[in-house]
Amino acid sequence: MFVKLSVSVHGSEWRVLCVLLILCCGLSTLKSTTIQDPELLEVYFLPLIPPLAMAWLWYVALRVWEARHIDHACCFPISQQRLLPHALDVRDAALVVTTFMALSASTFSLAAIIEFQAFAAFLPCLLYGALLAFIVTGGHGVVHNPKARSFLRQTLCRVFLPVQPVGWAEFLLADVLTSLARPLADAQRAVCLAARPLLRARPSVRPPPPLSLSPHS
């Protein structure tokens, strides 16, 4: 059985075309970079593609379920059904993160072309810091329901600190994070690589060398 979806560019859906345009511009700038810069671009930004693809697939699934009037929230307790995000919330969150990642990748490539290495090294730190803040705040500014944002934060805490009873939401989120084990490991590598220049810039606290007792000193 096939589901027929009619796609029309109206309202806020024009932003999807802007994201695709930004991605094309970012990829086109790679032709003018050196050999090392595309490798760094893959290390920094490639781990974010699988989670973003999963978010967009989640939006498509919610869109289809809502169009066919499928009550997917029946798997959750009654107290949590009102806190689940709608398809538009998932789309807006995925669109914001995709746009920010595309802008960061394009700016990183342009900074590499003009040899602005300090700014290029700062961009991955800014990207991952902004993503962490976006996750911790529960998508503040995109998910407009404060109870839904609080529910997301509480679910994350119960997943990472399993010292209390968990439910279907925690099990589902833990299963999603397990499926993203490889991209998350690559993201950890990217964060360590991006933070290395900042760590090197810190002053050294090594003890002074011992005094020499040689008569020639």
Name the residue range of residue 97's domain: 29-195
pLDDT above 80 for 96:
yes
Domain count, the chain: 1
Residue 190 covered by a domain: yes
Whole-angstrom CA distances from 74 to 45, 89, 159, 160, 180 are: 36, 19, 21, 25, 25
Residue 68 covered by a domain: yes
For the chain, report the end-to-end CA distance as a whole number of angstroms: 88
Whole-number pLDDT of residue 145:
66
| Alpha helices for 11-85 (secondary structure H) | 14-28, 36-45, 49-67, 78-81
Residue 191 covered by a domain: yes
Instruction: Please give the Cα distance from 57 to 63 (Å, whole number).
Output: 10
Residue 203 covered by a domain: no
Residue 213 covered by a domain: no
pLDDT above 80 for 179:
yes
Whole-number pLDDT of residue 12:
54
Cα torsion 166, 188, 143, 86 to 10°: value is -60
Residue 74 covered by a domain: yes
Residue 4 covered by a domain: no
Residue 215 covered by a domain: no
Lowest model confidence (mean pLDDT) among 22-31, 58-67, 93-102, 162-171: 22-31
Tokens of 71: 């009550």
pLDDT above 50 for 206:
no
Q: Three-state SS for 166?
A: coil
Q: What is the pLDDT of residues 108-153, one digit of tens each?
A: 888 877 878 788 888 888 888 888 888 777 666 556 667 777 777 7
Of 114, 136, 56, which Cα lies nearest the Cα of 106?
Answer: 114
Tell me the pTM: 0.71
